[in-house]
Amino acid sequence: MTQDTDPTALVRDIRARLGLTQEKFAARLGVTLPTINRWENGRSKPSPLAMQNLWDLIVAMGDQGQDLLARATMFKT
């Protein structure tokens, strides 16, 4: 899987762009720290609801998130 088709990389890149720790990112999304860790390590993938929340975070980033928005489009349900 390439970075463009991998939700693992997308989650990691969103968190890094926001400058958040896994713990703070989890709190922002309403999930647990282990959930973020599993997403970033490829052990599980975000649910459709979580992907919607990630989408909303990217949209809120405005111009800084345009490249992420393009990548996230393929995961939007």
Instruction: Assess contact for 43 and 5: CB atoms under 8 A.
Output: no
Q: Which two tokens stand for residue 32?
A: 């647990």
The 10s digit of each residue's pLDDT in 18-63 is 999 999 999 999 999 999 999 999 999 999 999 999 999 999 999 9
Instruction: Assess contact for 12 and 55: CB atoms under 8 A.
Output: no
| CA 74 to centroid of chain Cα atoms | 13
* Superfamily (CATH) of domain 3-75: lambda repressor-like DNA-binding domains (1.10.260.40)
Domain ranges (residues) in the chain = 3-75
Q: Which of 2-16, 42-56, 61-75 has the lowest mean pLDDT?
A: 2-16
Q: What b/e string do you get for 23-52 counting C-beta neighbours within 10 Å, with b at 16 or more? A: eebbeebebeeebbebbbeeeeebeeebbe
